[in-house]
Amino acid sequence: MTEYKTVFGSLDSYEKGRIEIIDDDPKHYAFSNVFEVANKSKAYEKVAVALNQQYALEVIRAEGDSDWFVCDHDETILCMDGEVRVEFVKPDKALHSDGADGSHPIAGVPAGKPMGHVLLRRGHQALLPKHSAYRFSAKKTSVLLQQTLNGPLTKQRWASICLS
């Protein structure tokens, strides 16, 4: 019987992503490593590591405080490494982007009712509700994986993050 070992990566300790090819051409596959992508990214840059039609998975390197964001659809955030605080505000007036996909930055602190916060640690996930403002804060460099729709902040760097 084959024995498998699960190894959890982190920003400080990960193996470069790889695939095992079975009688096929590796150019038919794309593979990226969220920790490697985060190591090469700027703080709060949203780098796509997967696209499925209009949906995107973005890796985010969390350091310090992010800008505030709003979205016209629900998003989810998963903490892959470290600890990240997510603050929420219910804006006094609509800040959404008229049906545009993806998250959008907000200039300054949004006026509205504070909705509280969530503290995410490795493996914790949170909902980022549509039309609510949110921002991230990390005391130590951390890694987030955000599920959203491909939008104006989604950076696509396939040539630099995929194996060929």
> Residues 18-45: pLDDT tens digits?
656 566 665 555 455 888 899 999 999 9
Q: pTM for this one?
A: 0.81
Specify the 3-state DSSP secondary structure of 77. Answer: strand
Q: Which of 134, 88, 135 minimizes the C-alpha distance to 115?
A: 88
> Mean of the pLDDT values across residues 48-69?
93
The end-to-end CA distance of the chain, in Å, is 32
Q: For the domain made up of 35-152, give the CATH fold.
A: Jelly Rolls (2.60.120)
> Mean of the pLDDT values across residues 119-138?
95
Specify the residue for token string 């104006």: 152
> Mean of the pLDDT values across residues 105-117?
93
pLDDT at 163 over 60: no
Model confidence at 97, in pLDDT bands (50, 70, 90)?
low
CA 96 to chain centre: 20
Contact by Cβ (8 Å): 128, 70:
no
- What's the rounded Cα separation, in Å, for the pair 164 and 155? 19
Spell out the residues 6+ positions from residue 13 whose beta carbon is closer than 8 angstroms to its own.
none
Domain residue spans in the chain? 35-152
pLDDT at 164 over 50: no
Specify the residue for token string 């350091």: 63
- The first and second tokens of residue 78, run together, are 């998963």
- What's the rounded Cα separation, in Å, for the pair 100 and 40? 28
Contact by Cβ (8 Å): 41, 146:
no
